[in-house]
Structures are given as structure tokens and as C-alpha cells.
């Protein structure tokens, strides 16, 4: 019940909470769907979403929406718009192939495939699960080696908005 005893505010807020996903989940689920549709060009890497404690097998692609911020140009009234930082981790093992050179080359081809998938903004938009993706672009690609594991961290920036009229977590009248 609300402060006036009608229960309407509680029902309205419950509907708002149930009608939308958090923006980070929207990003990860949308990209995960797009990547899984194209799993063969990722050389059958396992695609994982967000933060997870589950065990992962290599090769792996992990999609994580690291941050969501209100666009600075919109000031105090972001109107459901977000500037998003997306991190995509690509991991492979040097032990997956008879030689480390072949494993490295397959790893790098997996990274090229990720770049190609992320460059196809029209297809990402068509897989967007809720709201609207305005655009996404690559910021960086960093490569490293840890023991016998290859790893790349690819960073992207995206701009997206919730569906019109959806203001999740709004408690006002």
C-alpha cells in the first residue's frame, strides 16, 4: 500500500520493475544473442554474459557491460538514455592445437570475428531486446599472454535508450 492506503503506487511500481530489464542486461543479452547466432565464425567459442561465478571453458568470449552512465550532454534529464562501456574478453589456450603458433593464429582470427560482429551495427540493432541502440563503436583492443592463455580485451562505447515511457525504478507519481 502507498502512504494513502490505496495500493496503487505499489502496483504501478511493481509493473515498472517487471516491464524492463536493467540496461546492462539488455546490452549483454542483445550482444549474446547476436554472437550465438554466429558461433561458427567464433570457432565455437563459449559465449558468456556479464559477471558470473560459473566455470568457463576455453576458448571463451565474455561480454560484459562494465558501465552505464547518463550522457553528459543531457545533464540532469537523461530521459532513459545511456552511454555504455562494453568490454568483450576473448580467451584461448595455447594447448588447443598441436603448435602454439596455430593456437595463437586461431585466437587472433576469433578476435577479428568479434570485431566483425561488433562492426555490424544494423544486425546488433535488430537483435536488441528492449529499447533502442543508437550506435556502437570500438575504442580499443589490448592483447596479452598469461602462461599459456591468450587474451584480448576489446572495449566499445555504445549509446542506447529505454523504450519511450519506460522509466525503470521511478517511484514518483
C-alpha neighbours within 13 Å on the C-beta side of residue 163: 11
**In contact, 35 and 61? CB cutoff 8 Å:** yes
Give the angle 149-119-122 at the CA atoms, nearest 5°: 135
**In contact, 103 and 96? CB cutoff 8 Å:** yes
DSSP 92: E
Looking at the predicted structure, is the pLDDT value of residue 111 above 90? yes
What domains lie within the chain, and their CATH numbers? 21-161 (3.30.70.1700)
Q: What is the pLDDT of residue 151?
A: 95
- As a whole number, mean pLDDT of residues 46-72 equals 90
Q: Strand runs (DSSP E) across the chain, as ranges?
A: 46-49, 60-69, 81-93, 132-146, 149-161
- Torsion, CA 109, CA 113, CA 114, CA 115, rounded to 10: 100
What is the percent of the chain where pLDDT is above 70?
Answer: 83
**In contact, 26 and 131? CB cutoff 8 Å:** yes
Residue 32 pLDDT level (bands cut at 50, 70, 90): very high
- As a whole number, mean pLDDT of residues 155-164 equals 89
Mean pLDDT of the chain: 84
Looking at the predicted structure, is the pLDDT value of residue 71 above 50? yes
pLDDT tens for each residue of 81-95? 999 999 999 999 999
Give the angle 156-19-34 at the CA atoms, nearest 5°: 35
Q: What is the pLDDT of residue 76?
A: 73
Looking at the predicted structure, is the pLDDT value of residue 6 above 80? no
The more confidently predicted of residues 99 and 170 is 99
Q: How many angstroms from the chain centroid is the CA of residue 108?
A: 21
DSSP 26: H
d(C-alpha 19, C-alpha 130), whole Å: 10
Grid cell at residue 68? 552505464
Amino acid at each position: 500500500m502507498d502512504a494513502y492506503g490505496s495500493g496503487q503506487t505499489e502496483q504501478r511500481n511493481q509493473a515498472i520493475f517487471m516491464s524492463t530489464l536493467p540496461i546492462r542486461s539488455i546490452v549483454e543479452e542483445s550482444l549474446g544473442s547476436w554472437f550465438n547466432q554466429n558461433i561458427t565464425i567464433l570457432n565455437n567459442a563459449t559465449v558468456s554474459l556479464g559477471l558470473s561465478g560459473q566455470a568457463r571453458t576455453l576458448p571463451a568470449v565474455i561480454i560484459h557491460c562494465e558501465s552505464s552512465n547518463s550522457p553528459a550532454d543531457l545533464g540532469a534529464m537523461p530521459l532513459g538514455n545511456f552511454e555504455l562501456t562494453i568490454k568483450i574478453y576473448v580467451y584461448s589456450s595455447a594447448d588447443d592445437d598441436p603448435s602454439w603458433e596455430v593456437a595463437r593464429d586461431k585466437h587472433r582470427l576469433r578476435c577479428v570475428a568479434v570485431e566483425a560482429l561488433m562492426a555490424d551495427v544494423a544486425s546488433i540493432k535488430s537483435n536488441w531486446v528492449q529499447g533502442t541502440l543508437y550506435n556502437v563503436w570500438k575504442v580499443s583492443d589490448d592483447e596479452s599472454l598469461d602462461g599459456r592463455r591468450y587474451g584480448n580485451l576489446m572495449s566499445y562505447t555504445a549509446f542506447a535508450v529505454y523504450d519511450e515511457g519506460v522509466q525503470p525504478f521511478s517511484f514518483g507519481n
